[in-house]
A and B are shown apart, each in its own frame.
Chain A
Amino acid sequence: MENLHSLTAHKLKELMARGETDPSAILEGVFARAEKVEPKVKAFVLSGKERARKAVAGTARKNGKLAGIPVLLKDNLCVKGEATTCGSKILAGFKPPYDATVVRKLEAEGAILIGKANMDEFAFGSSCETSCYGPTKNPWDTACIPGGSSGGSAAAVAADETIMALGSDTGGSIRQPAALCGVVGLKPTYGRVSRYGLIAFASSLDQIGPITKDVRDSALLLSVIAGYDEMDSTSVDLPVPDYSNALVEDLKGLRIGVPKEYFVKGIDGEVEASVRAGIGVLKSLGAEVKEISLPHTEYAVSTYYIVGPAEASSNLARFDGVQYGFRAAGADDMIEMYIKTRSEGFGNEAKRRILLGTYCLSTGYYDAYYLKAQKVRTKIREDFDKAFSVCDCIVTPTSPTPAFKIGERASDPLSMYLSDVYTIPANLAGLPAISIPCGFSGSGLPIGMQVLAKPFDEETIFRTAYAFEQGTEFHKRKPNL
């Protein structure tokens, strides 16, 4: 079969079940595709060909939920013995001595790990430009960014270089690139998926999630990686439902809230039009749509740029050249070793966030910044609590604009930060949220629509997203590479 790489995991499972293909053919199909398009997309930072072939040939489990399905990992997920760098020079040569919990879960279900995907350095960015490996390109227009920070994962899924991928989302890092690449990206509820083995950016915001070609695959991949893990005490001990039960086409009785604060200045006209049209589709499928208010929305970005960098400044303190990764040469003493290693090892955006976070936590500023930000965070969460008393899910744009040009915002961090204005609130409130394709711009760039729900109500998200997908054709369109 010729186009195995372009299929979804659930479709490939059907074919394998009927004996029409096998894991080896799928893997080779994906590799052949990558060989062809990777020079243009540059989604991979590490190819796991050898390991993947070995797995298919023998070691991989044959009867798991993802048996024989190629999965690409964002480069901040630890795989035992495999280079894991977070797109940073400072982790050059680092090979974790252990597997992330999601990696163990994937392999336990027979998934085939095919490599590591590019990302903004330590997930700091919305464009995949801050990686030490150079930028990944948007498969729909290689002059454009794929979004970030999970840009490599999203671009690879969109370009059919993998069947599925995992990303991580701290302020939109799964959803925004998914939107910009025309694929499906889910940030699960905080605590739904173990973070053990995810190299932390901001511990209270980070969450690992699936990037897939459709909603059914998203539900399938989440069902594999979700669940309590005693190695992560922030993971929550709740049973994992069978998400496939939520994949129904009927939206009757579903109450959808549309926050008025999300359609204000800064939003691109085509994005607004597509999302409004998407809301119309949901209505036509039986949903009841009402306008709601999330009054503290305007403070989300500033809150995020205090909480996130504060935690990051502490999480990234360990990269000091003492135990692993990069150590600068020529230091005469310990302090100099720290300074040289970190000066040479981190890129500019990482340094900017470390400085920002260190400043916010310093004596005399803690109350004014970090503590205040935590209070605003509570307010934002309360906005959502209130909203969910009148609606079952909330629909918004994922990103205010389609993909922008590489280099366009690289020297303007504020405009870069604003590309996460719609995705950040879900992280601050710990809510699950998905981005699904809902249209294309005049120049052919994908537009995404975001669906948010109550904590641990991924089922409502899947139901809404699946019904929308069944009622539209956007997810079927492929980039011309």
Chain B
Amino acid sequence: MRYETVIGLEVHLQLATKTKAFCGCSTKFGQRPNSQVCPVCLGFPGSLPSLNEEAFRFAIKVALALNCRIQAIVKFDRKNYYYPDLPKNFQISQYDMPLSYNGFVDIAVDGANKRIRVKRVHMEEDAGKLMHPEGEDYSLVDYNRGGMPLLEIVTEPDMSSPREAYDYLTKLKAILEYLKVSDCDMEKGSLRCDANVSIRPEGETKLGTKVELKNMNSFKGVRNALEYEVKRQDSVLEDGGKLVQETRLWDADKGITTSMRTKEEAEDYRYFPEPDLVPFVVEKEEIERIRKTLPELPEAKAARFKAAFGLSDYDAGVLTSQVDLADYFEECVKLYPNAKTVANWLMGDVMATVNEKNIDMSELALAPAAFTGLLKMIDSKAISGKMAKEVLAEAIETRIAPEEIVQKKGLSQISDAGAIESVVQGVLKKEAKTVSDYKSGKKAAFAFLVGQVMKETKGKANPAVVNEILKKSLGE
């Protein structure tokens, strides 16, 4: 039987606010354990939460960017469960009235637009981190992360392949980065993703048995875990087995998922309204004020790039896929008018280097002025395109300005006809046999002669000038 895949995603996003969700503690990453805590985020007896307004504004920004409707009243609930990383043994979250709901994110599937519906975006607080020292019979808790503001972004089960899930995450991350509301760093845990996946016979409208996947720490991991899980479910059904509703953990090293708990073992969270936080009305004016602070988002920017710079759909899509890349591109075209050239170089050599070095665009040690300076050197024939590639790589590696590299290495291209002429004459003298081959009709000999001239000039001769002089000398 042929099966189709149904995937829904839950993303937990740590908001990059200055202070925690319900107290004044710093949210700085990587500090000494339990150095960023207070009675409130430690859940000490008698302490009470008060909502961080910045977290609320960030949440509204995300809701608006994901085209969500915003709840008229903000209400928090308690999710009750026992775990030592949760100091109150309940988490302040939102249950039946999420901050926002009914949004969407569009992704491209086979060149067409596909709408992934966002079911809800709600606010909650993060838990601390447990550490289990090896060989010891105790565990330690670091509450620095406890009480950090989180958004939970939940989709409808609208994705029908691991690839679509990956594309949704990529698009979501791009939007979130544009909003500058989070680091979106899966390695640091500021963006986490769980996936719900089920399969069903093709054409069936009822959903199959759902499995929740956890413990993926990269977008590729999400895709791999889903691919594995779809195959596993497929083979269970093919072997005549039955799937159980359960939570499974992805093991990235082994490339498999293993069962963590079944539905029967799931906890009853005993949600009820958080009595320590008074529900409040979200003023329409406040939403409009926040809406005005939204930056241009990827789709709008791509459309503008196409219109203003004549870029293709593909180029505009790639250049706007990361806010830093888009900003970099815009800086460059201010300094250098040929947008297509900028785009080609950025999407080619620059991105290749960035990816190879596994850094962000923001970490790229090559100012737009330096980069466009390099492009100008090509245009003025001061260097060849081939040399430019080498200079670019070196400039990124050494953080030395391209012009300086060109000067230091004497890489400037020889375009001076007189200088090239004398080299050409020398080569013609030395290669008399090749010359006669050429004259007798062996056209390939010409390329050999060009090569010899380039060799003599250590590659610095302007190839176009060499061609021209050579042809003239050979009496063409």
A and B: bona fide binding partners: yes
A residues with a Cβ closer than 8 A to B are 76-78, 84, 86, 91, 94, 96-98, 100, 195-200, 202-204, 230-234, 310-311, 313-314, 317-320, 322-324, 334, 338, 358, 361-363, 366, 370
What's the dominant secondary structure at chain B's contact region?
loop
Contacts of A196 in B (CB 8 A): 46-48
Closest 3 CB pairs of A and B: A317-B89, A203-B275, A361-B270
Say which residue of B46, B87, B272 sits within 8 Å of A366 (CB atoms): B272
Say which residue of A91, A233, A358 sits within 8 Å of B48 (CB atoms): A233
- Evaluate whether A199 and B46 lie within 8 angstroms (CB atoms) in the complex, with A320-B89, A322-B141 already known: yes
Say which residue of A98, A317, A366 sits within 8 Å of B90 (CB atoms): A317
Contacts of A230 in B (CB 8 A): 50
Q: How many A-B contacts if CB must be within 8 Å?
A: 101
Complex: A199 Cα to B43 Cα, angstroms: 11
Distance (whole angstroms) from the CB of B114 to the closest CB of chain A: 35
B48 with A195: CB separation less than 8 A: yes
Contacts of A233 in B (CB 8 A): 48-51, 276-278
Q: Closest residue to A85 on the B side, CB-wise?
A: B45
B46 with A100: CB separation less than 8 A: yes
A362 with B51: CB separation less than 8 A: no
Say which residue of A96, A234, A338 sits within 8 Å of B276 (CB atoms): A234
B57 at the interface (CB under 8 A from A): no
B90 with A91: CB separation less than 8 A: no
Residues 267-285 of chain B: 1 if any A CB is under 8 Å from the residue's CB, otherwise 0?
Answer: 0101110011110000000
B80 at the interface (CB under 8 A from A): yes
Say which residue of B42, B78, B88, B270 sits within 8 Å of A358 (CB atoms): B270
Distance (whole angstroms) from the CB of A236 to the closest CB of chain B: 9
- Evaluate whether A362 and B46 lie within 8 angstroms (CB atoms) in the complex, with A234-B276, A317-B82 already known: no
What's the dominant secondary structure at chain A's contact region?
loop
B residues with a Cβ closer than 8 A to A are 39, 42-51, 78, 80, 82, 84, 87-90, 139, 141, 268, 270-272, 275-278
Complex: A361 Cα to B267 Cα, angstroms: 13
Complex: A231 Cα to B38 Cα, angstroms: 13
Complex: A94 Cα to B51 Cα, angstroms: 27
- Evaluate whether A203 and B276 lie within 8 angstroms (CB atoms) in the complex, with A317-B80, A322-B141, A361-B270 already known: yes
- Evaluate whether A363 and B268 lie within 8 angstroms (CB atoms) in the complex, with A234-B278, A314-B78 already known: yes
B46 with A96: CB separation less than 8 A: yes
Complex: A77 Cα to B46 Cα, angstroms: 8
Write 20 A-B pairs (CB below 8 A) sorted by A numbering: A77-B46, A78-B46, A84-B46, A96-B39, A97-B39, A97-B44, A98-B44, A200-B45, A203-B275, A232-B48, A232-B276, A233-B276, A234-B276, A318-B87, A318-B89, A361-B80, A361-B271, A362-B270, A366-B271, A370-B272
Q: Closest residue to A334 on the B side, CB-wise?
A: B84
- Evaluate whether A318 and B45 lie within 8 angstroms (CB atoms) in the complex, with A233-B277, A323-B87, A361-B270 already known: yes
- Evaluate whether A311 and B270 lie within 8 angstroms (CB atoms) in the complex, with A199-B46, A322-B84 already known: no
Contacts of B90 in A (CB 8 A): 314, 317
Complex: A198 Cα to B44 Cα, angstroms: 11
Contacts of B78 in A (CB 8 A): 314
Say which residue of B45, B47, B82, B270 sits within 8 Å of A338 (CB atoms): B82
